[in-house]
A and B are shown apart, each in its own frame.
Chain A
Amino acid sequence: MDNKDCRFRIADCGIENSPSLHPSLPRGEGGGEGRFGHWNLRFLSIWLFCLLLVTLLSVGCQRSRAGITVAGSTSVEPFAELLAEEYMMRHPELHIYVQGGGSTAGIEAVRTRAAHIGMSSRSLAPREKDLYAVTIAKDAVAIIVHPKNPVQDLTLEQVRTIFSGQIKNWKELGRHLHPIVLVTREEGSGTREAFQKLVMGKEEIALESLVQDSNGAIRQVIANDPSAIGYISLGLVNDQVKAVKISGVEPNLTNVHHGKYTLVRPFLFVFNGEPIGEAKSFLEFVLSPQAQKLLLKEGLTPVLQNLD
């Protein structure tokens, strides 16, 4: 009886909560009273049982494996994952959980001890100096354009005026007539902060620039738009985009290593106090020659000199 009333009410008012799921309401049918009650009870108990099971399972899983959590910058994340895999191959008893979230979030997580190690793609801000930071590698920031864009070489000054919005058309740089589309990272991103510090100085990045929330998304936009310009981690430049020279210096590992290419920022591991236990042994592995060689192969500049 109740059921029927309910249906009519819904149909009457013409709206319901998830309209898309049942645009045409079932009408008129329905089993006997007794069978219905029986069904309800069985359904309810099965449902409650499932809920209990899921809760127990998830609690159980969390406790079953010892491990450390590494969280932070999405620029460092892929490299940290690689290192964690290598490390876990050598130490199968330990599990390393690598999570993204961003430099600032990673640093916060270390402070609140939600993570054992924070990853940061920028130097620590003055108010974060109480934490213990170790540079695990250096990464260059590349200025990228579409491969078809004739621009090969820009000065730092030109990059600054482009990104501050003073130059709005490629024509002003003596190239084809096309409005410049700026692509930048969101506020708080480590890459953006590094770019701000290394390139922009006191100038602001123009407000009309498009904002994308990862290196990959910026690369995607640039790869699709012949008049766009953006910046990403050098290790993530591929043949979909073109990295421009800065005052004639090509962004590559040799030039970064010799200090010729200056748009370089540190990749940090951040700890709350001196690293101890498993976090310490993971850090030692990351700073070991094998791990540093791995980072070099992936396009970063290692902190360890003289890797043969």
Chain B
Amino acid sequence: MQVKENVIGKILLLIALSSIFILGLITFFIFEEGFPLILKVGPKAFFFGEKWIPSKGLFGIFPMIVSSFWVTFGALILGIPLGLSCAIFLCEWVPPAAGIILRPTIQLLAAIPSVIYGFWGLIVLVPLVRNYLGGPGLSILSGSMILGFMILPTIISISEDSLRALPPTYKAGALALGATHWQTIWRIMIPAARSGIVASIILGMGRAIGETMAMIMILGNAVKMPSSFLDSARTLTTNIGIEMGYASGDHRQALFATGVILFFIIMVLNSLAIILSKRRGR
């Protein structure tokens, strides 16, 4: 029995290590391909250059960094209030029967492929924005709305988990002191679960920044500094997605270099999420 357990343990260890090994391999290749170009163009021209014209050797990704954050914050503006209220409702008020239907439905939202979100946005949302608000319709606003829906499952499920993980004494104590149900939630439970909720938002942000397919279809991909929410834009991920098929030489390396930047942003966001979630309970 003991031998068998050991063998199983070793096999699982090997499999677990292989996934880390693959991650290391990917990281290595992204940096190996992308880094030389950043040095060649010059870090300043690369990060803060406003023109991306690969055929002329201009590789400035600043508009894309800015667009990535515009789109992401737009998504958060929609996603946070919706997601948080949904989590509170699921945690505190939902009748058991409704919960049985609601939770799987929210999970289903995460299971829909992003290309479906993109297609729906292109056919339904984009014409609405174009007809009622103006501009080309393929815009940051449309993209943010779609992304807002896409990050809902992340925000809802993690926030709900962190609300549920609070010691029941918190709630009981507050109610015993005469607080209303809403006061208990707003003043006691949300502040106590704050770190988990913030972590959920940061993970949602990570998802929003990384989304590619739906954004290629909805954002319009124009490479310029966005000046309003009705402008078309190109994010870091869509830049890679839309140009990789035709890129070669420096252009291809520049796309890898875009990946390097994306890698850093995602790493910072995930580290933040981990640090914040560890601070729970203070």
Residues of chain A whose beta carbon lies under 8 Å from any beta carbon of chain B = 11-16, 19-21, 23-25, 37, 40-41, 44, 74, 100-105, 108, 181, 186-190, 204, 207-213, 220-221, 224-225, 228
Contact B130 A225 (CB under 8 A): yes
Interface-forming stretch among B32-40, B48-56, B169-177, B182-190? B48-56
How far does the alpha carbon of A211 sit from the alpha carbon of B235 in the complex, in Å?
A: 12
With A20-B153, A211-B220 known as contacts, the answer to whether A15 contacts B199 (CB < 8 A) is yes
Contact A209 B222 (CB under 8 A): yes
Against A, the Cβ 8 Å flags (1 = close, 0 = not) of B24-42 are 0000000000000000000
Between A16, A188, A221, the greatest number of chain B beta carbons within 10 A of the residue's beta carbon is seen for A188
- Pairs A-B, 10 closest by C-beta atoms: A188-B246, A23-B157, A20-B110, A14-B196, A102-B246, A211-B221, A14-B162, A210-B220, A102-B245, A20-B153
Chain B residues contacting A15 (CB-CB under 8 Å) are: 158, 196, 199-200, 203, 273-274, 277
Contact B199 A37 (CB under 8 A): no
Contact A187 B243 (CB under 8 A): yes
How far does the alpha carbon of A97 sit from the alpha carbon of B264 in the complex, in Å?
A: 38
Contact A14 B153 (CB under 8 A): no
Chain A residues contacting B8 (CB-CB under 8 Å) are: 37, 40-41, 44
Q: Which of B136, B241, B248, B278 interacts with A228 by CB under 8 Å? A: B136
B86 to chain A, nearest CB (A): 11
Residues of chain B whose beta carbon lies under 8 Å from any beta carbon of chain A = 1, 4-5, 8, 11-12, 51, 53-55, 103, 106-107, 109-111, 122, 126-127, 130, 136-138, 153-154, 156-158, 160-162, 165, 193, 195-196, 199-200, 203, 216, 220-224, 232, 234, 241-243, 245-248, 251, 273-274, 277-278, 280
Main secondary structure, interface of B, reads helix
Contact A23 B165 (CB under 8 A): no
How far does the alpha carbon of A204 sit from the alpha carbon of B203 in the complex, in Å?
A: 40
Chain A residues contacting B136 (CB-CB under 8 Å) are: 181, 210, 225, 228
B191 to chain A, nearest CB (A): 14
Q: Which of A13, A41, A210 interacts with B4 by CB under 8 Å? A: A41
Contact A37 B54 (CB under 8 A): no
